[in-house]
Amino acid sequence: MRSLCLIWAACLAVVGAETSAVASVAPEFTQTEHRDWINSAPLTLDDLSDGPAIIEFWTFGCINCRRSIPWVNSLLDDYADAGLTVVGIHTPEFNYERSPDEVARRCEVLGVEHPVMIDNDHAYWNAMGNRYWPAFYLLDARGVIRGRFIGETHVGDRQDQAVRGALDALIADR
């Protein structure tokens, strides 16, 4: 099953972005307890209103997710002046990925410094209607979903260029 998920996610990465995603407001974060957040106190969508945001669905057991971390970190560096926020939603696929202590340890080892919400009950995954790891949802400053990008992403690849183009357009529209 895991191999099939990875192959499917890789195929979707080739297809690229779905920037025609329905322009709806993202649901409020489902976890509100401090113990369910890493690298941050609990956040709300209002906390993201300073600029564009990316909601990133990932799990530490997914190789495609781990390989995308350097790209996510590069976005945070390159768009810091524009107020970009990334919120990782750690939604486990397997039981061994459910330990909050292990998620925190993996964040440290993997270099994930942005806020991460632990979504062990898949509540946010379901609220967003997500189906893939990794998946990246681009939100404007009002929390409206402006694009969805699926699959492993690297600096300079086609999907990176699409995300950066969408981010640049959002920033220009402010």
Domain ranges in the chain are 2-172
Residue 115 is given by DSSP the state -
**pLDDT exceeds cutoff 50 at 159:** yes
Of the candidates 103, 111, 139, the one whose C-alpha atom is nearest the C-alpha of residue 31 is 103
**pLDDT exceeds cutoff 60 at 172:** yes
Of the candidates 28, 92, 94, 22, the one whose C-alpha atom is nearest the C-alpha of residue 55 is 28
pLDDT band at residue 22, thresholds of 50, 70 and 90? low
Encode pLDDT of 63-87 as tens digits: 999 999 999 999 999 999 999 999 9
Contacts of 24 (CB under 8 A, 6+ apart): 144, 145
Q: What percent of the chain has pLDDT over 70?
A: 87
Looking at domain 2-172, which of 3.40.50.2000, 3.20.20.450, 3.30.1860.10, 3.40.30.10 is its CATH number? 3.40.30.10
* Between 4 and 138, the higher pLDDT residue: 138
Of the candidates 173, 106, 110, 117, the one whose C-alpha atom is nearest the C-alpha of residue 146 is 173
pLDDT band at residue 23, thresholds of 50, 70 and 90? confident
- H-type alpha helices, the chain: 2-15, 63-78, 100-110, 123-128, 158-172
